[in-house]
Amino acid sequence: MYDPLYFLVIFMFILSLIVQGKVRSDYRKFSRVASERGLRAEQAVQMVLDYYDITDVEIVRVAGNLTDHFDPRKNIIALSEPVYGSTSIAAIGVACHEAGHAAQHAKGYVPIKVRNSLVPITQIGSFLGIPLAILGVILNTFNLVIIGLALYTCVAIFQFVTLPVELNASKRALAVINETDILTDEERHGAKKVLTSAAMTYIMALATTLVNLLRFASIFLGGRRR
């Protein structure tokens, strides 16, 4: 039987690959371009922290690639090995983005508090949501199907809340970059391009989750109607 959701799932998968390719392409391009001033990524982060009068956040190096993050529990900004010590436009953009998250916590930005509060239920939903729904179908237990789909819906809610958090962190970082001499005007365009491409991955993640949610609901609930 023809189901347009199948084609939508395939389309979203292909689109996700295109977006991921775009992100990697932009990052590679600007990771090969050193900033004119020669600031290292961790120095740029410190300038963002100073701009927002944040004095209690430590900048550390962590192993791996794309492992950059701000940890509010430890109050640290962790920069990955390729980013820490790098003077590239891409590294500075990524590092300053993480400093933007630190600024959000320092200034009491509400969406990031909401997102953090959703982390536990989201982890449960991503791990157990669909398996519970499948188990409900096997056992012919409708309530279990609903619980599974509701848990998986929490993943979509988390991703929806994540969007403004990530966009705002980039906005805060770029605001400081624009008002200081971390990067030149031309270099700022490159940093913005890297962060904009990265933001697209969050949009695609949300869209993909919503399509999957519709597909799973169609399968599990549609089967019950038949």
Whether 186 is catalytic is: no
Q: What are 153's two structure tokens?
A: 């819906």
Count of other CB atoms within 10 angstroms of residue 173: 29
Q: What is the per-residue burial (b if ≥16 Cβ within 10 Å, else e) of 57-75?
A: bebeebeeeeebebbeeee
Catalytic residue among 42, 98, 166, 187: 98
Taking the chain (226 residues) in consecutive chunks of 10 residues, what is each chunk's mean pLDDT?
Answer: 72 86 90 94 97 96 92 95 96 97 96 94 93 88 90 95 96 94 93 92 91 85 59
pLDDT value for 223: 56
pTM for the full model? Answer: 0.88
Residue 86, phi-psi category: left (phi > 0), alpha (psi -120 to 50), beta (remainder): beta
Residues 6 or more apart from 75 whose CB is under 8 A from it? 56, 57, 58
pLDDT value for 136: 87
Burial class of residue 24 in the structure, from the number of CB atoms within 10 Å of its CB (0-12 exposed, 13-18 middle, 19+ buried): exposed
pLDDT value for 216: 85
CA distance 88 to 31: 5
